[in-house]
């Protein structure tokens, strides 16, 4: 339980830290080296983040496809109203970083890639978008953790029911054994009485035998 609490606490701190992790700088991609925004996603893997990003970016109505060779996702003509009145081409790449991944995103505004230097009033839209995605990833992580913990709880409850059933069966066995013991004790009591009666018969029969033997001796 302590481990679960620690994990959930770490995830909460991750939520708080999400909004301070976005980095900006030139980064290499399929179109060359262009200005990009990057965000580290803790305790994630490349495949899951790529899948989550492709699902997320589709809501902006761009035509999205994944370039396996470049390991890059491209969303053509995405509608990012808070960033531009025109459509925006969005490129992204997910890079492993130990137990974490780094999501790098380029926003092509048409003739220039988004940057604080040239588009200071539009940068917050990009950061908010990435923060929203990062939060959705963290929520998915907690939901997955919840499912795992619920499964563990279900297994423990199943084990508990099994133990309760075993106890009930053992109690039934005890009752049966106690009944058998009581019956055996009664049978022993009856047996002792029967032995007493039989001993009386034996003693009487011995006297009969002795009398016959005495009669035989006299005849001889």
186-201 pLDDT, tens per residue? 999 999 999 999 999 9
What pLDDT is recorded for position 111? 85
Any idea of the CA torsion for 59, 62, 68, 70, to the nearest 10 degrees?
Answer: -120
Question: 154: which DSSP letter?
Answer: H
- Best CA proximity match to 56, nearest among 75, 37, 76: 75
Tokens of 208: 């009969």
As a whole number of angstroms, the distance between CA 19 and CA 130 comes to: 9
- In this prediction the pTM is 0.70
Specify the pLDDT at position 94.
97
Q: What is the pLDDT of residues 59-109, one digit of tens each?
A: 999 999 999 998 999 999 999 999 999 999 999 999 999 999 999 999 999
- Residue 8 above 80 pLDDT? no
Confidence of residue 180 (pLDDT cuts 50, 70, 90): very high
Q: Are 74 and 90 in contact (CB under 8 A)?
A: yes
How far apart are the two ends of the chain, measured CA to CA in Å?
100
Whole-angstrom distance, CA of residue 57 vs CA of residue 216: 123
In this prediction, residue 116 carries a pLDDT of: 94
CA-wise closest residue to 56 among 140, 119, 123: 140
Distance from C-alpha of 150 to C-alpha of 146, rounded to nearest angstrom: 6
Identify the bridge partners of residue 34 per DSSP, sorted by sequence position: 27
Tell me the domain boundaries of the chain. 2-148
Tokens of 79: 């509608």
**Residue 182 near residue 175, CB atoms below 8 Å:** no
Supply 37's token pair.
């925004």
Mean pLDDT of the chain: 90
pLDDT of res. 64: 94
Please tell me the predicted confidence (pLDDT) of residue 21: 83
Q: Is the pLDDT of residue 118 over 90?
A: yes
Please check whether residue 73 is in contact with residue 62, taking contact to mean a CB–CB distance below 8 angstroms: no
For domain 2-148, give its CATH number from 3.40.50, 3.30.310, 3.30.70, 2.60.120: 3.30.310
Residue 49 and residue 132: Cα distance in Å, rounded? 14
């Amino acid at each position: 339980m302590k481990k679960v609490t620690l994990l959930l606490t770490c995830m909460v701190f991750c939520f708080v830290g999400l909004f301070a992790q976005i980095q900006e700088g030139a980064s290499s991609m399929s179109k060359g080296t262009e200005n990009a925004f990057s965000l580290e996603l803790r305790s994630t893997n490349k495949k899951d983040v790529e899948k989550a990003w492709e699902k997320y970016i589709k809501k902006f109505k761009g035509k999205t496809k994944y370039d396996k060779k470049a390991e890059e996702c491209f969303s053509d003509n995405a509608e990012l109203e808070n960033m531009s009145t025109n459509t925006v081409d969005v490129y992204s790449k997910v890079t492993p970083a130990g137990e974490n991944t780094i999501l790098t995103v380029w926003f092509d505004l048409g003739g220039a890639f988004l940057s604080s230097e040239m588009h200071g009033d539009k940068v917050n839209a990009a950061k908010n978008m990435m923060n929203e995605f990062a939060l959705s990833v963290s929520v998915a992580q907690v939901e997955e953790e919840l499912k795992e913990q619920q499964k563990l709880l279900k297994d423990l409850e199943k084990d508990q029911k099994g133990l309760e059933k075993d106890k009930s069966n053992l109690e039934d066995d005890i009752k049966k054994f106690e009944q058998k013991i009581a019956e055996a004790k009664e049978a022993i009591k009856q047996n002792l009485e029967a032995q007493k009666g039989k001993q009386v018969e034996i003693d009487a029969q011995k006297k009969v035998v002795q009398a016959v033997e005495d009669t035989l001796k006299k005849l001889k």
